[in-house]
Chain A
Amino acid sequence: MSCLNTAHTRGETLSSMVGVGLRHPHYKEALLGSSSIDFVEVHAENFFAEGGIVPAILDDIAQQYPISLHSTSMGLGSAVGINRDYLQRLKRLSQKVTPILISDHACFTWSNLNGNAVHAGDLLPLEFSQQNLQVMTENVDKVQQVLGRKILVENLSSYVEFRFSNMSETEFLTELVNRTGCGLLVDLNNLIVNAHNFSDESSLQTASQWLQQLPTGAVGEIHLAGYTPVAENELIIDDHSQPVSDECWSLYRTALKQFGAVTTLIEWDNNLPSWPVLLDQATKARSIMSGITIMKNVPMSEEGFLNAI
């Protein structure tokens, strides 16, 4: 079952929708007035409570916006597998809100510590190896069977690299798509953060090359975000605390030229702006996406004007 490029909401094809991450301080404003966004993304775990006011809030949100469920704890690359209770909670939530998209990350979270089961509480990086690919394949297969639908898997920003990796991240993700039929959520900010932290070349160039290695039809969503600048030689932390960076906007244009219109989300989790500022970011993304779509019908020499958007 495909959830990509087929659903129609408010007259929009899913592939050209633009949304924002909806976080608690914005609930009231998001629910009060009409806004220009096509969908909101919520973190699945924030709505796991089956009682209290949380389910009612989610109902209200779902009445006003199509919802994308973005989970942060599934740990699709966990060698010990995915916790069964967690998966059942996600399934119940998914059945309740029938989200337009469900996504999580190419990371691991479940493991053991001193003989006890543990959840890392963070998105921990994978080694890109055949063995981890096999683990990831089995886990994604299982999740898609339990949820009864396709999921999107997001590339990670990571702060350590493993010497055990023997394939590239794009080879790993491409093969995962081939084996499971899952889609990809490409987080452009994560690409930039990784390039800054681990590449000697220009981050934009490194990230663009990364994009070129992906199978075009597999990309079901793009995340845009910003990060707090750091001093030279320090690692950038993917804190989602700033407006979408200029680099990220630039990479977004590159991605749209390569993939065509793709569902796009502004991800801003910390140091939250006002609701109108967040919506402005979404408006900018929509303008760029429209421009790129138009560009397909104009000579290449006129491309320059699009970069000014």
Chain B
Amino acid sequence: MQSELDILCRRQEALIALIFSEQSMLENKEEDQMSKGLKIYQNNLLMTAVRALSLKYPVIDKMIGREALSGLTRKLLHIELPASGDWADWGEQLSSLIMTTELYDQHPYLAEIASFEWFLHETARGVGTELNVNSLARLSEQNLKSVFIQLSKTLKVLSFHYPVDEIWMLHQLDENQIDTNELAVLLKEPIELHRIVIYQREAVPCVERLTEQEQAWLIDVLAGLSLDQLLEKYVTFDLSGWLSVAIEEQWLEGLR
């Protein structure tokens, strides 16, 4: 036998299920008070979710328009339920959702742009790094097998087929200022990988391009290779030059 608490739980679940239901109340012409009320909750949910996505994905919003974003939002609400109480945490799966839609067939770059925007959003909210200056003294140790480079937790090393950083920058301009020829070039069939690092510097997200070697180095650092292993693998790597960039750009937490 169900307890009264269970029954209350079920009734609250039932209301949520009606609000999240894909069957729109908008089609119901003979509306009673309950239907009108439910429609308001459904609209509120959609509008709030669309707004939450548009804040995280401003370039996607600009490229596909609000109507298409609303359509994606409806689908995303069923794939990724909001669950933390903070809309800022919701929407990570937009990129993978786009890959399952017709939109992706016509505009394959959208999934990568969405992925890039999500990383920017996450980086913007992450806790940045303070360099442990004293830890740099470990560089002078004889045995570098037990010395490891500690990178900022906001730093992410990524590869994209499309130049998503340039596409994103172009869309920071007003719509009438965007050079459509330049955009067309950026969106054409990709021929090479674009390697980038996203990180937080002075509390704001930053993006830098990486060479193939720089990217491989960072991936190995993140994988936990010791300084000794790194220097053995990257014989010609300019460690001191890289360290000064890493400190300047706030990639580095220190050495451990």
Known contacts A113-B13, A122-B48; is-contact A49 B8 (Cβ 8 Å): no
A121-B49 in contact (CB<8A): yes
Quick one: which of A85, A112, A121 has the most chain B CB within 10 A?
A121
Known contacts A80-B9, A118-B81; is-contact A124 B203 (Cβ 8 Å): no
Report the nearest A residue to B43, measured CB to CB.
A237
Q: Give the number of residues in B that approach A within 8 Å (Cβ atoms).
A: 42
Known contacts A113-B17, A131-B4; is-contact A51 B12 (Cβ 8 Å): no
Question: What are the residues of chain B within 8 A of A234 when measuring CB–CB?
Answer: 36
Question: What are the residues of chain B within 8 A of A52 when measuring CB–CB?
Answer: 124-126, 128, 200, 203-205
Question: What are the residues of chain B within 8 A of A129 when measuring CB–CB?
Answer: 8
Q: Indicate if A53 sits at the interface (CB-CB under 8 A).
A: yes
Q: Indicate if B16 sits at the interface (CB-CB under 8 A).
A: yes
B154-A51 in contact (CB<8A): yes
Contact with A along B30-72 (1 / 0, CB 8 A): 0001101110110011001100000000000000000000000
Question: What are the residues of chain A within 8 A of B4 when measuring CB–CB?
Answer: 131
Report the nearest A residue to B21, measured CB to CB.
A113
Name the interface residues of A54-113: CB closer than 8 Å to any CB of B. 54, 56, 73-75, 78-80, 83, 85-86, 89, 108-113
Q: Indicate if A37 sits at the interface (CB-CB under 8 A).
A: no
Q: How far is the CA of A15 from the CA of B84 in the complex (A)?
A: 33
Contact with B along A110-131 (1 / 0, CB 8 A): 1111101111111010010101
* Interchain nearest-CB distance for B59 vs A (Å): 19
B85-A83 in contact (CB<8A): yes
Q: Indicate if B82 sits at the interface (CB-CB under 8 A).
A: yes
* Interchain nearest-CB distance for B58 vs A (Å): 14
B203-A51 in contact (CB<8A): yes
B41-A118 in contact (CB<8A): no
Report the nearest A residue to B9, measured CB to CB.
A79
Question: What are the residues of chain A within 8 A of B204 when measuring CB–CB?
Answer: 52-53
Q: Indicate if B19 sits at the interface (CB-CB under 8 A).
A: yes
Majority SS at the chain B contact face: helix
A118-B20 in contact (CB<8A): yes
Question: What are the residues of chain A within 8 A of B15 when measuring CB–CB?
Answer: 124, 160
B45-A121 in contact (CB<8A): yes
Q: Indicate if A164 sits at the interface (CB-CB under 8 A).
A: yes
Question: What are the residues of chain B within 8 A of A210 when measuring CB–CB?
Answer: none
Residues of A in contact with B, size category:
35 or more
Quick one: which of B19, B37, B41, B85 has the most chain A CB within 10 A?
B85
Known contacts A113-B20, A160-B34; is-contact A74 B85 (Cβ 8 Å): yes
Question: What are the residues of chain B within 8 A of A118 when measuring CB–CB?
Answer: 16, 20, 81-83
Report the nearest A residue to B85, measured CB to CB.
A73
Q: How far is the CA of A135 from the CA of B9 in the complex (A)?
A: 10
* Interchain nearest-CB distance for A158 vs B (Å): 8
A159-B12 in contact (CB<8A): no
Which residue of A86, A113, A160 contacts B84 across the interface (Cβ within 8 Å)?
Answer: A86
Q: Indicate if A235 sits at the interface (CB-CB under 8 A).
A: yes
Known contacts A86-B84, A119-B85, A159-B40; is-contact A113 B126 (Cβ 8 Å): no
* Interchain nearest-CB distance for B151 vs A (Å): 15
B125-A54 in contact (CB<8A): yes
Contact with A along B104-129 (1 / 0, CB 8 A): 00000000000000000000111110
A48-B49 in contact (CB<8A): no
A113-B5 in contact (CB<8A): no
Q: How far is the CA of A162 from the CA of B11 in the complex (A)?
A: 10
Identify the 4 closest CB pairs spanning chains A and B, nearest first. Answer: A159-B37, A73-B85, A51-B127, A160-B37
**Chain A interfacial positions (CB closer than 8 Å to B):** 45, 48-54, 56, 73-75, 78-80, 83, 85-86, 89, 108-114, 116-122, 124, 127, 129, 131-132, 134-135, 158-162, 164, 234-235, 237
Q: Can you report 5 residue pairs joining A to B where beta carbons are below 8 Å apart?
A: A117-B83, A120-B16, A122-B44, A132-B8, A235-B37
**Chain B interfacial positions (CB closer than 8 Å to A):** 4-5, 7-9, 11-13, 15-17, 19-20, 33-34, 36-38, 40-41, 44-45, 48-49, 81-88, 124-128, 154, 200, 203-205
